[in-house]
């Protein structure tokens, strides 16, 4: 699994040309699932996302978490995070997990973020055409990889 976290002052998503749904301050989480991942990995991602100290305290230090701040999450499924770009000019997506499994993992991520106490969790839709907008704060952008955060 891979996730790109972007600290934002605001963000939103429009699904298949529909109305924009958005959040105020918090995180945008682009989430991809690879072949070989296991659904049990999702909880490690949830815990890392809500507890990472990437928001500024009164002294300007990155010392506060999403939960400390009471912020929201915009979660967006993104199979392209698992692309292999080593050869040629066209990415290969053969490492991306099968849609049914990846969709279940994304749903588990969203449910886990809600259960962990994120103020609000707005979600994109797996397999849909989405227009995502955001105002990156900092900018602070981090990449999570299951190879680094899951005890295997």
Please state the pTM of the whole predicted model. 0.95
**pLDDT for the residue 150:** 86
Tell the residue number behind the tokens 């989405």, with chain if given: 130
Q: What are phi and psi of 54, to 5 degrees?
A: -125, 10
Q: Which helix (H) or strand (E) holds 131?
A: strand 130-145
pLDDT tens figures, 113-148: 999 999 999 999 999 999 999 999 999 999 999 999
**pLDDT for the residue 9:** 98
**pLDDT for the residue 151:** 77
For the chain, how many structural domains are there in total? 1
Which CATH number covers residue 145? 3.50.80.10
**pLDDT for the residue 61:** 96
Query: Cα–Cα distance between 56 and 96 in angstroms, integer?
Result: 34
Q: Is the dihedral of CA 129, 134, 29, 25 positive or negative?
A: negative
Query: Cα–Cα distance between 105 and 33 in angstroms, integer?
Result: 8
Residues 83, 90 contacting (CB under 8 angstroms): no
Domain that holds residue 9: 2-149
**pLDDT for the residue 92:** 93
Arithmetic mean of pLDDT, 2-10: 98
Could you give the 3-state DSSP secondary structure of residue 100? helix
Tell the residue number behind the tokens 């507890």, with chain if given: 51
């Amino acid at each position: 699994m891979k996730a790109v976290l972007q600290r934002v002052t605001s963000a939103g998503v429009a699904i298949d040309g529909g109305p924009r749904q958005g959040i105020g301050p918090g995180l945008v989480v682009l989430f991809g699932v690879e072949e070989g991942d296991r659904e049990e990995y999702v909880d490690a991602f949830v815990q890392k996302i809500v507890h990472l100290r990437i928001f500024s305290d009164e002294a300007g230090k990155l010392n506060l978490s999403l939960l400390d701040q009471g912020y929201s999450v915009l979660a967006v499924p993104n199979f392209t995070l698992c692309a292999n770009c080593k050869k040629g000019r066209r990415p290969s997506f053969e490492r991306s997990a099968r849609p049914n499994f990846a969709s279940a993992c994304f749903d588990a991520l969203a449910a886990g973020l809600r259960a962990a106490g994120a103020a609000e969790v707005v979600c994109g839709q797996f397999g849909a055409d989405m227009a995502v907008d955001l105002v990156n704060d900092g900018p602070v952008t981090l990449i999570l990889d299951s190879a680094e955060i899951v005890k295997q």
